[in-house]
C-alpha cells in the first residue's frame, strides 16, 4: 500500500492553521481599510489637456470682441507647436479661446508660451482687461443646492454669496459654483441738457472716468531700511464713489461732480435669463469634488449645513419660511410643505 502525500499551498495552510488565520485577518483588514479610504465619484473622472483663455472686454459687442480680441489671439498662436485645435467664442463683453493640446505635450510649458505670446500682442483695445490663461480642470459633480422664495435681485445676490462662502468654509467642500444671480453693474446715464448748460462734452466725461478711476503705480522710494513701493489708489468700486468723481474744479474752490451731470445707478447686469423653482425666484449652487475626495462625505457635510441654515433664513409675518433651500431630491417650499422633485 502506497502512502500518498499532499503537496501545494493549500496543503501547507492545512498543516499550518495559524498562518492561514493570520493571512485571512490581513485580507479582511486590508479590505476594510480600502473600502473606507477609497474615493467615490458619481461619474468617471479623467484629466483633459485643454487650456482656456478668458478675456473680459466691457461694453463691447460680439463683433468688436471678435475683431479686437479673438483675431489677434488666433494670429499670435497660429502655428504654435503642441496646439491641436483652437476654438474661439465671442459674446457681449467677453471672449473665450479654448486650446486643445496634443497628447504627450507638457501642458505647463505650453501655458507659459501662450502667456508670453499673448503678452506680446500690442494691438489690444485700451478698454480690454488682462487676459486670464488657465488649464481646464475636471470636477466631479456632487449635488445641487437651490435657494428660492420671495427675493429681489439684490437679496438673491447677497444670500447667494453668503451661502457660497459658508459652503466653502466647510472642511470637506473645496469647489462651489453659483448660478442664477447677475453680476454687479454701475450704470452712468449722462444728461445731455446738463452737458450743454455746463459747456461739457461726452468725451470729456468719459476721459475723466477713465483717468480718475484707476489704481496706478507711482514709483519706488529708496530708504535705508529697504525700498517702499508707492501706489495711488483711486479706483471707484461703488455708485457713490463714481458720483463723487470730480469733472471740473473752479477757481472759487467749487467742484463739478459726476452726479451733477449724470444719474449713477448701482445695480446689476441686465439679462433675459430667469431662474425659478416652485414658481418662486431662485438661484442654485453646484457642489463639486476634487480628485481624491469622497462625494458621500461631501454630501453629508452639505446636508448637515442645509439643515442648520434653514432656520436662519428670513421668515414671513405669519412665521412661515419665506426662503427655502433644496438639496438632493427633497425641498422645503415657502408654505412649509415637503416637496419631492
Concatenate the DSSP letters of all residues of 78-91 into one string: TT-TTEEEEEEEEE
Predicted local distance difference test score (pLDDT) of residue 90 = 92
Is residue 65 within 8 A of residue 72, CB to CB? The reply is no
CATH number of the domain residue 179 falls in: 3.30.70.1320
Q: Is 248's pLDDT higher than 60?
A: yes
SS3 54: strand
Q: Is 48's pLDDT higher than 80?
A: no
Predicted local distance difference test score (pLDDT) of residue 60 = 85
Count how many residues are written for the chain: 341
- Average predicted confidence (pLDDT) for the chain: 77
Predicted local distance difference test score (pLDDT) of residue 316 = 47
% of the chain exceeding 90 in pLDDT: 15
Predicted local distance difference test score (pLDDT) of residue 337 = 28
Confidence of residue 322 (pLDDT cuts 50, 70, 90): very low
Q: Is 324's pLDDT higher than 60?
A: no
Q: What is the pLDDT of residues 115-133, one digit of tens each?
A: 999 988 888 888 788 899 9
Q: Does the reported pTM lie above 0.85?
A: no
How many domains is the chain built from?
3
% of the chain exceeding 70 in pLDDT: 78
Print the domain residue range for 119.
Answer: 50-135
**Distance separating the N- and C-terminal Cα atoms of the chain:** 78
**Do both 278 and 175 map to the same domain?**
yes
List, in order, residues 6 or more apart from 240 with CB less than 8 Å away.
Answer: 264, 266
CATH number of the domain residue 192 falls in: 3.30.2090.10
Average pLDDT over residues 176-186: 84
Predicted local distance difference test score (pLDDT) of residue 318 = 38
**Do both 189 and 158 map to the same domain?**
no
**For 123, how many CA atoms within 13 A lie in the half-sphere containing its CB?**
12
**Do both 191 and 258 map to the same domain?**
yes
Average pLDDT over residues 40-68: 81
**Do both 119 and 193 map to the same domain?**
no
Predicted local distance difference test score (pLDDT) of residue 268 = 80
Confidence of residue 66 (pLDDT cuts 50, 70, 90): very high
Predicted local distance difference test score (pLDDT) of residue 256 = 83
Per mean pLDDT, which range of 48-57, 169-178, 232-241 is the poorest?
232-241
**Do both 179 and 326 map to the same domain?**
yes
List, in order, residues 6 or more apart from 42 with CB less than 8 Å away.
Answer: 140, 141, 142, 295
Predicted local distance difference test score (pLDDT) of residue 45 = 60
Is residue 302 within 8 A of residue 143, CB to CB? The reply is yes
Q: Is 341's pLDDT higher than 60?
A: no
Q: Which of 117, 135, 153 is the last residue of a domain?
A: 135
Task: Calculate the alpha carbon distances from 61 to 19, 67, 71 in Å.
Answer: 76, 10, 15
**Do both 73 and 145 map to the same domain?**
no
Amino acid at each position: 500500500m502506497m502512502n500518498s502525500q499532499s503537496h501545494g499551498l493549500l496543503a501547507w495552510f492545512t498543516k499550518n492553521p495559524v498562518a492561514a488565520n493570520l493571512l485571512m485577518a490581513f485580507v479582511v483588514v486590508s479590505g476594510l481599510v480600502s473600502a473606507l479610504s477609497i474615493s467615490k465619484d458619481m461619474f468617471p473622472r479623467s484629466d483633459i489637456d485643454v487650456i482656456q483663455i478668458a478675456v473680459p472686454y466691457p461694453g463691447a459687442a460680439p463683433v468688436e470682441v471678435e475683431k479686437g480680441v479673438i483675431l489677434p489671439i488666433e494670429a499670435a498662436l497660429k502655428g504654435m507647436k503642441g496646439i491641436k485645435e483652437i476654438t474661439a467664442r465671442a459674446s457681449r463683453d467677453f471672449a473665450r479661446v479654448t486650446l486643445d493640446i496634443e497628447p504627450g505635450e507638457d501642458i505647463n510649458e505650453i501655458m507659459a508660451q501662450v502667456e508670453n505670446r499673448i503678452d506680446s500682442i500690442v494691438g489690444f483695445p485700451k478698454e480690454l482687461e488682462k487676459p486670464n490663461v488657465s488649464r481646464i480642470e475636471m470636477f466631479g459633480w456632487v449635488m445641487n443646492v437651490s435657494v428660492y422664495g420671495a427675493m429681489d435681485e439684490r437679496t438673491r445676490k447677497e444670500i447667494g454669496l453668503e451661502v457660497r462662502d459658508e459652503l466653502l468654509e466647510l472642511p470637506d467642500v473645496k469647489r462651489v459654483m453659483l448660478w442664477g444671480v447677475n453680476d454687479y453693474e454701475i450704470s452712468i446715464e449722462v444728461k445731455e441738457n446738463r452737458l450743454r448748460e455746463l459747456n461739457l462734452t461726452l468725451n470729456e466725461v468719459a476721459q475723466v472716468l477713465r483717468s480718475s478711476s484707476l489704481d496706478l503705480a507711482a514709483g519706488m522710494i529708496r530708504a535705508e531700511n529697504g525700498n517702499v513701493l508707492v501706489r495711488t489708489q483711486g479706483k471707484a468700486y461703488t455708485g457713490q464713489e463714481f458720483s463723487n468723481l470730480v469733472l471740473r474744479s473752479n477757481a472759487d474752490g467749487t467742484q463739478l461732480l459726476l452726479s451733477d451731470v449724470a444719474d449713477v445707478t448701482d445695480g446689476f447686469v441686465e439679462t433675459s435669463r430667469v431662474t425659478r423653482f416652485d414658481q418662486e425666484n431662485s438661484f442654485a449652487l453646484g457642489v463639486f469634488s476634487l480628485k481624491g475626495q469622497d462625494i458621500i462625505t461631501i454630501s453629508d457635510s452639505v446636508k448637515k449645513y442645509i439643515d442648520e441654515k434653514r432656520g436662519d433664513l428670513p421668515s414671513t409675518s405669519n412665521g412661515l419660511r419665506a426662503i427655502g433651500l433644496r438639496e438632493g431630491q427633497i425641498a422645503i417650499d415657502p408654505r412649509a410643505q415637503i416637496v419631492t422633485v
